[in-house]
Amino acid sequence: MSIPFRHSAGFGKRIEYYLIGLMLKEGIDVYVPLVDDNAIDAIIKKADGSYIEIQIKARSLDVKPGDAALFAAITHKDRNNYYFVFYSERLKKTWIMSSKEFIEEAVLNKSGKNIGKRSIKFNGSKTDKISKERIEYSKERYDKYLVNDFSKFY
């Protein structure tokens, strides 16, 4: 069954608002820019009065098997007070990384059409020995970025 264009085209925006809604429920002071020219989906005012910029990236249930938490071809240079929130709908997991952590962990594409862009894959996949089904899992090496709330932004 194919996915209607309106469903797939709006997925990213729906997840942005979903995650921003969760932040608001936690009492975080969140501002949403009207324009996304600088890869900023939300701005958070912290308790100390400082601000941080947030970029939200999401993968839907419908992505190719094995790519549940693959975030590819991201243009990014180090930015102070800048964070990524990565969300995998299929894995039901959220990772938060600072700009610096993302640059340290992501792969820099050195050739091809996405040269100079960065990619990160938080998941692996394996074949279940009994059912022979392909199973996706969260890579343990990224567990330090897994979150259940947004307390990193308080």
Residue 36 has pLDDT above 90, yes or no: no
Neighbours of 63 (CB within 10 A): 15
pLDDT in tens, 104-146: 999 999 999 999 999 999 999 999 999 999 899 999 999 999 9
- What domains appear along the chain, each with residue ranges and CATH number? 5-143 (3.40.1350.10)
pTM beyond cutoff 0.85 = yes
Question: Where does residue 52 rank: exposed (0-12), middle (13-18), buried (19+ CB within 10 A)?
Answer: middle
